[in-house]
């Protein structure tokens, strides 16, 4: 009889204890009010909200941006944090897309291409989505969003499960072949937090790639985004990208 009573009590108690424990786990890390990042008191991430602008009509497909990114961030061979695609649309139906080595060494004339009605280059990179699927699926909290609007990966905490690589609808992520952790564009956080431009923007000779800050007064890039016909990639996915494209063709995906 004691055993029967006890088991019932025990289960109830256990249930309560687990609930209480769970609550503590959830409430445990209390958000502090500090606004500056720990080591660099000069940079306040609440004073910035970055956006990126790509003017497709200006891109010459030289690949300087891809090389700049590679050199700045030691991106492993065969992988790209940013890349350039060439679109060739013939008869408004046949869409050909190529990106040899991500456009690293530029592009060659394509003698097999049909007489195309239109052709253009589309630089791509992580969109730093505001409503991001990649962070949502991370089971350990290694992918996260910063207060200034970036999506970053903590490679010391990443377990390399690859869920985020699958979740990103833009193909912006890959697993580093050496560390086996998730890698992607950081908008050169080490540069922008020091007031520099991302390496791809700094490398672009044509002004195709530009970087803006929603919280900076009189920001030219923000003015363009607010006043001109810009689009984002795969808008229907509701990921709310922070990369805006000027002169975006409807065929670009």
Partner 1 sequence: MSDAPERHSKHLYRAVIVIVGGLIAIFSSRLLLMPKSFGEHGWYRFDNVAEQMAKPVKHGGNASCKSCHGEQSEQHDGAGHATVPCESCHAPLATHVKEKKKSADMKVERTYKLCARCHQKLEARPKDFPQVVLKEHLEDQGETLEGDVCLNCHQPHAPLEDL
Report 64-103 residues binding partner 1 (CB under 8 A): 64, 67-68, 71-72, 86-88
Closest distance between ligand SF4 and the C-beta of residue 49, in Å? 15
From the list 69, 122, 129, 152, which residue makes contact with ligand SF4 (rule: CB under 6 A)? 129
Q: Which of residues 174-193 bind partner 1 (CB under 8 A)?
A: 186, 189-191, 193
Q: Nearest-5° angle of CA 236, CA 238, CA 243?
A: 95
Give least dist CB 191 to partner 1, A: 6
Helices and strands: H and E segment counts in the chain: 7, 11
User: Taking the C-alpha atoms of 114, 250, 134 and 26 in order, what is their torsion angle to the nearest 10 degrees?
Assistant: -170
Question: CB count, 10 Å around CB of 125?
Answer: 24
* Cα torsion angle, 11, 17, 20, 23, sign: negative
Count the alpha carbons within 13 Å of 85 in the hemisphere toward its beta carbon: 16
Residue in the structure block whose two tokens are 């503590």: 24
Residue 89 or 150 having the CB closest to ligand SF4:
150
Q: Quick one: which H or E segment has residue 67?
A: helix 64-73
User: Considering only 11-19, 170-178, 218-226, 233-241, which stretch makes contact with partner 1 by CB under 8 A?
Assistant: 11-19
> Considering beta carbons, is residue 126 or 225 the nearer one to ligand SF4?
126
Considering only 49, 172, 203, 239, the residue that binds partner 1 (CB under 8 A) is: 203
Residues 61-120 that bind ligand SF4 (CB under 6 A): 61-65, 84
Binding site for ligand SF4 (CB under 6 A): 59-65, 84, 121, 123, 126-129, 132-134, 151, 168, 170, 172-173, 184, 203-204, 206, 208-209, 239
């Amino acid at each position: 009889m004691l055993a029967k009573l006890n088991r019932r009590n025990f289960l109830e108690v256990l249930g309560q204890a687990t609930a209480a424990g769970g609550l503590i786990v959830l409430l445990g890390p209390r958000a502090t009010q500090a606004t500056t990042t720990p080591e660099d008191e000069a940079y306040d991430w609440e004073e910035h909200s970055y956006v990126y602008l790509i003017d497709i009509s200006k891109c010459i497909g030289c690949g300087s941006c891809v090389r700049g990114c590679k050199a700045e961030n030691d991106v492993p061979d065969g992988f790209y944090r940013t890349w350039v695609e060439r679109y060739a649309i013939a008869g408004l139906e046949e869409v050909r897309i190529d990106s040899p080595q991500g456009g690293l060494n530029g592009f060659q004339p394509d003698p097999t291409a049909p007489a195309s009605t239109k052709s253009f280059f589309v630089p791509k990179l992580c969109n730093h989505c505001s409503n991001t699927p990649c962070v949502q699926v991370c089971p350990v909290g290694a992918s996260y969003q910063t207060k200034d609007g970036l999506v970053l990966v903590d490679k010391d905490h990443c377990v390399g499960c690859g869920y985020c690589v699958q979740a990103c609808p833009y193909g912006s992520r890959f697993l580093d072949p050496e560390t086996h952790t998730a890698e992607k564009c950081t908008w050169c956080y080490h540069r922008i937090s020091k007031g520099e431009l991302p390496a791809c923007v700094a490398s672009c000779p044509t002004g195709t790639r530009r970087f803006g800050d929603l919280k900076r007064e009189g920001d030219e890039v923000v003015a363009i985004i607010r006043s001109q016909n810009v689009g984002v990639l795969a808008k229907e996915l509701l990921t709310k990208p922070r990369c805006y494209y000027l002169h975006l063709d409807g065929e670009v995906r």
